[in-house]
Amino acid sequence: MIDIQTHDIQFSTKGQTDIIDITDHIQKVLAKTGKQEGQVFLFAVGSTTGLSTIEYEPGLVNHDIAESLEIWAPYKKHYQHNQTWGDDNGGAHVRSTIVGPSLHVPFVDGQLTLGTWQQIVFLDFDTRPRQRKVVVQVIGK
Amino acid sequence: MIDIQTHDIQFSTKGQTDIIDITDHIQKVLAKTGKQEGQVFLFAVGSTTGLSTIEYEPGLVNHDIAESLEIWAPYKKHYQHNQTWGDDNGGAHVRSTIVGPSLHVPFVDGQLTLGTWQQIVFLDFDTRPRQRKVVVQVIGK
Amino acid sequence: MIDIQTHDIQFSTKGQTDIIDITDHIQKVLAKTGKQEGQVFLFAVGSTTGLSTIEYEPGLVNHDIAESLEIWAPYKKHYQHNQTWGDDNGGAHVRSTIVGPSLHVPFVDGQLTLGTWQQIVFLDFDTRPRQRKVVVQVIGK
């Protein structure tokens, strides 16, 4: 029978478009539920973060994604957000809204259906280290 | 027991990357269902819109997001879409496809698990005022 | 009663931001399940792909989306990913992570609640033709 269970994972980030592979965390949550078929739903709590998938290799993760985002949401730029709040993370907020906080990954026979070169990542766009939480809901049977 | 209920919310928008806080609407829909644990699923009907989360403050909402999107999908540019259909909203369509129409937010103990500075927003990228509909499905127990 | 069923669709793509209308495929999968109310969940397997919705007309699909993405993730550019792996698809990976692999569309009375000018699309950002798979889970009653 279909059921829904809510968990969360917590971890530290460095900010500055820190891209963290959380695939193992998610697989462990899934394994604990014992569910065989359904969806894992991940939600990033916070407004300077994002969730997506990527081939988790250093070139993309430490350089290419950040460089591309600098083109349209550079960290060093005049943002109204920064001026209003005496803040420095306007670019992080812009990136977060475009990438989005919500991701689902299916599972079948108790296994995530990711591609071979596809990992689940949490993106921390903020300008400083943070403690982060991702809500993980497993819905399935 | 897990059930699914479909509702919708409707509202007017001004277009031109009008970013509307719909968190209260969603909380009211959720409260009516009486469900305690699950997911609220929002789907933006239309191809010049988007859904995401943001810290809902005037700098980001009225200025910074729009300025960043202007870099890669400016409203005033030659789009094939505009030429083919005698239209002026090619940039709105491009923004919509990249941001995406679909968002889920978890709830636990009947409350959305949003961050303190994280609101649910509907983004209307179109070039003119519109009447909009968001389908809201509550799945949970 | 709520149930969940997993299917998949497979198809060939040309790459280079090939945007494919998969709405009919999804409607057929939905029709086979006989479900009346719920969500169709689509997940793109692979790290150079994406899922979204669009008004499926040639100007946007063959020109405008690709041109906008060229601004911040051009195919012809020096990516660390390409240098490390002797590859040429760094820009495809960047596009994929920002657009995202996961999409849900609601259905009511057995019909997807898409807008009149809103189709479901698979985006293949890779630089060469590929054989692709999208996992399709129908959850509903």
All partners of chain A with 3 or more CB pairs under 8 angstroms: B, C
Return the number of other C-beta atoms located less than 10 Å from residue B91's C-beta.
Answer: 26
Give the full edge-to-edge strand order of the sheet including B49-54. Answer: B18-21, B119-124, B49-54
A60–C139: do the CB atoms touch at under 8 Å?
no
Tell me which residue of A133, A138, A108 sits closest to A122, measured CA to CA: A133
Of A14, A39, A32, A7, nearest in space to A106 by CA: A39
| pLDDT tens-digit series, residues B83-99 | 999 999 999 999 999 99
Q: In the β-sheet with C49-54, what is the strand arrangement from edge to edge?
A: C18-21, C119-124, C49-54
- Chain C residues whose beta carbon lies within 8 Å of the beta carbon of residue A137: none
**Chain A residues with beta carbon closer than 8 angstroms to that of B69:** 72, 98
Cβ-Cβ contacts under 8 Å, A139 against chain B: 2, 38-39, 139
Q: Which residues of C touch A (CB under 8 A)?
A: 2-4, 6, 41, 43, 45-47, 71-73, 79-85, 90, 93-94, 96-98, 100-102, 104, 135, 137, 139
Q: Is the pTM of this model over 0.95?
A: yes
Which residue of B lies nearest to C4 if distances are taken between CA atoms?
B2
- Residues C49 and C121: beta-carbon distance below 8 Å: no
Whether B62 contacts B71, CB under 8 Å: no
Interface residues of A toward C, Cβ cutoff 8 Å, are 2, 37-39, 52-55, 57-60, 62-65, 68-69, 71-72, 98-100, 102-106, 108, 113-115, 117-118, 121, 139-141
User: What are the pLDDT digits (tens) for C69-102?
Assistant: 999 999 999 999 999 999 999 999 999 999 999 9
Name which of B61, B53, B54, B52 is nearest B14 in CA terms.
B61
The architecture CATH gives domain A3-140 = Sandwich (2.60)
Report residue B1's pLDDT band, with 50, 70 and 90 as the boundaries: confident
Q: What is the pLDDT of residues B16-65, one digit of tens each?
A: 999 999 999 999 999 999 999 999 999 999 999 999 999 999 999 999 99
pLDDT, one tens digit for every residue, chain A (141 residues): 899 999 999 999 999 999 999 999 999 999 999 999 999 999 999 999 999 999 999 999 999 999 999 999 999 999 999 999 999 999 999 999 999 999 999 999 999 999 999 999 999 999 999 999 999 999 999
**ipTM reported for the complex, 2 dp:** 0.97
Q: Which of B55, B62, B71 has the CB atom closest to A47's CB atom? A: B55
Question: Is 90 exceeded by the pLDDT of residue C1?
Answer: no
Question: What are the structural domain ranges in chain B?
Answer: 3-140
Check A139 against B39: CB less than 8 A apart.
Answer: yes
SS3 content of chain A, % helix, strand, coil (to 5): 30, 40, 30
Minimal C-alpha gap between B55 and chain A (Å): 6
Using a CB–CB cut-off of 8 Å, the residues of C that contact B are 2, 37-39, 52-55, 57-60, 62-65, 68-69, 71-72, 98-100, 102-106, 108, 113-115, 117-118, 121, 139-141
Residues C14-134, CATH architecture: Sandwich (2.60)
pLDDT (0 to 100) of residue C56: 98
Closest-CA residue of A relative to B108 is: A6
Is the per-residue pLDDT at B7 higher than 90?
yes
Residue A133 burial (CB count, 10 A): 17
Residues of chain A neighbouring B139 (CB-CB closer than 8 A):
4, 139
B10 strand-pairing partners: B133
- A-chain CB neighbours of C139 within 8 Å are 2, 38-39, 139
> CA dist A108 to A2, B26, B104, C138, Å?
14, 31, 21, 13
pLDDT tens for B103-123 read 999 999 999 999 999 999 999
3-state secondary structure of C44: strand
Q: Which residue of B has its CA nearest to A45?
A: B115
Return the closest-CA partner of residue A135 out of B50, C56, C16, B53.
B53
